[in-house]
Chain A
Amino acid sequence: MTDPGALDRLVQRITMQVRWRRAEYHALRGLFYGAVLAVLLLAVKTPLGFWALPSAGAVVLLGVVGGALWGFFQRVPATDAARLADGAFGLQDRVATALEWAGRPDRPPLVEALLADAIARVDALAPRQIIRRLIPREARWLPIPALLALTLAVSPPLPLPSGRLPDLSAGTETAETRERGDMATMDQDRRQVPKDALKRQAFEERDFNQRGGTGASPTGGDLSAIFKDTSLGNQRPDFNSFLKKGDERLKLLEQVDRLPDLQSDFTQSQYKMVFRKSKALKSGLRPDQISPQKLRELLEEMERLGRKGGSWGNDAAEGLDALEGGQPDKALEAMEKALNKMRAMDEQGRGGKNLRGGRENDSGASRDRRSGSGGGPDEQDFGEGEGLLPGKGKSGSPKGEASQRLRASPYDVGVEGESRKGRKDGYDTNMTGRGGKMGSRLSYLGVIGQYRKMMEDAIAREQVPRDFQGQIKDYFQSLDER
C-alpha cells in the first residue's frame, strides 16, 4: 500500500501554520486585555508605589504570552487541515479524501490510485503560507489603552477619593429644630422651598389654589399638626398625587404606538377593498338588478385572494358556479358567506397588532362597573379605538358585538317609559331594566347629540347610498323632536 507520509507532512505543515496564526490572533487579544488591566493598575499607582509600573508591564506580558499559548495549543483536526490544503492548493478534495480512505479497511482498489495521485501532486507543491492573518476586533481599540497606560505611567498619581461619605447630619438637625419651633412659621417655611423647575405651570397654579384656602396661619382644622412628629409631617399636603394620575393619562396619549391606527388599517387591507366593492355593487339593488359581469369580477377577485391563504375560496368558487348556472341570488349568498369569512380573518389579523389596548382596557372597566366599583358615566372614555362604537374594535361584526356594547356603555341601556313632565331642557329618562340599576342619569339631549354626530361621521365614512342618507337623517330628526 502506498505510504501517505507526504500527505501527513502536508497536513502537519498546514496545522503548524494554523497554530501560529491562532497564536498571533490570541496574543493580540491578550495584549489588548493586558493593556486594559495595566491602565487600571496605573490609575491606582499611589497605594502600589514603586510596583505599579512593573506590575502593569507584567500584566501586559502575561496577556500576550497567555493568549499566544492558548491559541497555539488549541486543537486542529487533521481533516480540517487537509480541507484547507485542498482549498488553498486547488487539489479538489484529493488530500482529505485520500487521508480519510487510506485508513479504512473497506477501501476499494481505486483508493490506491487516489493516494498515489494525491502524493504526486503534493510533492510537486511549493511550500507556502496558505492561512491568512486575521486581526481580532480588539486590536482596533488597542491604541486607546496603550496611550492611556503610557500617559498614566509618566504622569503623577491620580488623587483618590477619601472614601468618606458627605455628612448630612447637620442639615437634618436644623430641619428638626425648625420643626420643633413655632408652628406659625411652619407653613411659611414650606412656601420657601425652591420650586421644582420641571413642574408645570398649570400644576403650580392648581397647587396654589388648593392651598390658598388654608390661609397663612394654622387653623383649628389643619391636619399637618397631626403628623407633626411623624415622617409625614415633612410632606406637603398637596394634591399632586391626583394630578399625577392625569399626567400619566396624558403620557399615554403621547405613546402613539399604543393607539390603534385605524386609518392605515382600513385603507391598506385588500379585503377591505373587496368589502367596499361588494357594497358598491349591491347598493340597494335587488339580486336580479345586479350586473352579473361585475359580480363575476368580484367573485373572481375573492377567489384569487382565497387561493393566497384564505378559507373563503370555496365559497367564492361556489358563487361563480351559481352565477354560471344563472342563479344570481345563490351567487350573492355565497359572496356574503365569503365576505363574512374574509371579514373575520381581517378582524383577527387587526386584533393581533393595532387595536391592542382599546377593548382590553374597556373590558377591565366593564368588570369594574359590574362589580359596582366603577365610577359614573363621567369616567367613560369614548375616544378612538375604544372598541365599543360601530365599525371599531375587534368584533367580527362591522358594528361590533351588540351585547358587548350594551354591557359596556351606559348610553346603550334600554330606555323605556315616557318622558316625565316638567322641564324639557335636561329631562331624565325613566330608566328601567339595566340602566336603572346603574344609578346614572344622562341628559337625553346630550346623548342624542352625540349619536347624531356619530351618525353623520358614519354616513360620510361608510358610503351609505344617497337615498338612505335622507332616511337616516329623518330618523334622527324624529328622535330629536321627542
Chain B
Amino acid sequence: MTQEERVRDFVTAFERLRSEVEKVIVGHRDIINHVLIGMFAGGHVLLEGAPGLGKTLLIKTLAEGLELSFSRVQFTPDLMPADIIGTNIILEDAGGRKHFQFQPGPIFGHILLADEINRATPKTQSALLEGMQEGFVTVGGASRPLPSPFFVLATQNPIEMEGTYPLPEAQLDRFLFKLRVRYPAVEELNAIIDRTTQVRPVTVERVMTGPTVLAFRDLIREVPIASHVRDFASTIVMATHPEWTGAPEVTRRFIRYGASPRGAQALVLGAKVLALSEGRYNVSADDLRTLSAPALRHRVILNFEGEAEAVDVDTLVSEIVDKAQATMVEGKEAFLR
C-alpha cells in the first residue's frame, strides 16, 4: 500500500466515523472533529457544557461507531477509586481453597465515559491519573495494562458548581483537549426536535476497529512538520508564560501559570491529525492556530486580575497566538529592509 493510499484510507475512515456520529448528533461539527482528532492523536478529551447539550450522547454514539469496548461511569461524591479501577475479591475453588481474584473495573475498557467527572472527590478523580498518562493501573501492588487504544472522554458541567470538586491542574493537563459545548443554533435546534420526537430509528454502523485506530495513530506520527511551524508551536506555548521574556502584555497582565510542554505536544499532535484528515501530508501554521484554544484553554491559569475581570481564556489564547505569529513574521519574512 502506498503512502497516498494510507492517507486516503485515513481520510475516508475519518469522514465515515464523523458521518456516523452526525446521524445522531445535530450540529457541533467542530466538537465532533476535535473529539475524533483527540482520539486519533491518542489523547483524552474533556467536554464542558451545560446539561442537555448532547455531550454524553456524542460519546456514546462515537463508541457505537467503533468496534471497541465501552464503559460509562457516572461520577458521584460517594464514588470510590475501587469503583473505577476494580478490586480483589475472595473466591473459593472446588477444593474449598480461598484465593484473591482481581475483578477489573470500568477503566479496563477501550472507551471510558467519565460523566460529570467534577462530582467525584479528588481521590476518585486521581484514580484515573495513572491510567490516562501511562496506560497502566496499579492495584494491590500489581501493575495491570489497560487495553489499547484507551480513550477517556469526560464531561463536566460549568454551572451547578455546588458540591463539585474542580479538577486539579495535574489532571486537567492530562486531557489533550478541553472542548466547550455551546448551545445549538435555531436551525440545529429544529433538526434536534425533528430527529428526537419522531419515530425514526437511527442505526450507527461500526466503521473502525481497535487495530485500525492504532495503525492510524502510527501514520499520524509520520506527518512531517517544518521547523518554522514547530517553532511557532513552541512560541505559542512559551508566550503563555508571564515570566518568559517574549511574553505579550496580555500574558503578563492576566496569566499566573502558562501551558506545560504537554500543551505543545497536544498542539502538534492534534495539528498532525487535522492535516491528515484534510488529506494534507504536512502540518501548517493554520492547523496550530485552529487547535490552540482546545489545546491550551485548560492549561492556562489566570491570575487574580484575570479572574476578577472575567477574562475569557479563548480570547486570551487567540491574542497570544496573534502576537506569536507577528513575532515570527517580524523575525523571518521582513525581506525588504
Contact = CB atoms under 8 A, between A and B. Distances in A.
B281 A96 contact: no
B5 to A, nearest CB: 10
A97 B282 contact: yes
A22 B335 contact: yes
B224 A110 contact: yes
B306 to A, nearest CB: 13
B208 interface: no
Contact of B229 (A84, A87, A97, A114): A97
A139 to B, nearest CB: 13
A134 B335 CA distance: 10
Nearest to A308: B304
B284 A93 contact: yes
B281 A113 contact: yes
Contact of B228 (A79, A94, A108, A114): A79
Nearest to B223: A110
Contacts of B219: 110
A111 B285 CA distance: 18
Contacts of A117: 280-281
Contacts of B4: 113, 116
Contacts of A109: 3, 222
B159 interface: no
Interface in A101-121: 101, 107-114, 116-117
Interface string B221-260: 0111111110000000000000000000000000000000
A100 interface: yes
Contact of B222 (A98, A108, A134, A308): A108
Contact of B335 (A76, A100, A307): A76
A83 B336 contact: no
Contact of A21 (B229, B332, B336): B336
Given A110-B219, A110-B222, A96 B335 contact: no
A22 B7 contact: no
B188 interface: no
B222 A92 contact: no
Contacts of B281: 94, 110-111, 113-114, 117
A98 B223 CA distance: 11
Nearest to A133: B336
A101 B336 CA distance: 27
Contacts of A84: 333, 335
Interface in B1-50: 2-4, 7
Interface residues of A, number: 32
A108 B304 CA distance: 46
B285 A93 contact: yes
B109 to A, nearest CB: 31
A129 to B, nearest CB: 14
Contact of A110 (B7, B284, B332, B336): B7
A107 B229 contact: no
A62 B133 CA distance: 67
A97 B282 CA distance: 7
Contact of B3 (A18, A80, A93, A113): A113
A25 interface: yes
Contacts of A131: 335-336
A97 B335 contact: no
B286 interface: yes
Contacts of B285: 93
Interface string A272-290: 0000000000000000000
B228 A25 contact: no
Given A84-B333, A134-B336, A92 B224 contact: no
Contacts of A134: 336
Interface in A231-287: none
User: Nearest 4 pairs between A and B by C-beta?
Assistant: A114-B281, A108-B222, A113-B3, A92-B284
17 contacts: A18-B336, A22-B336, A79-B228, A84-B333, A93-B228, A93-B283, A101-B226, A107-B224, A110-B223, A110-B224, A113-B3, A113-B4, A114-B281, A117-B280, A117-B281, A131-B336, A134-B336
Interface of B: 2-4, 7, 219, 222-229, 280-286, 304, 332-333, 335-336
Given A93-B283, A100-B226, 13 more contacts: A80-B335, A83-B333, A93-B228, A93-B229, A93-B282, A93-B284, A96-B228, A97-B224, A97-B282, A101-B226, A113-B281, A114-B281, A114-B282
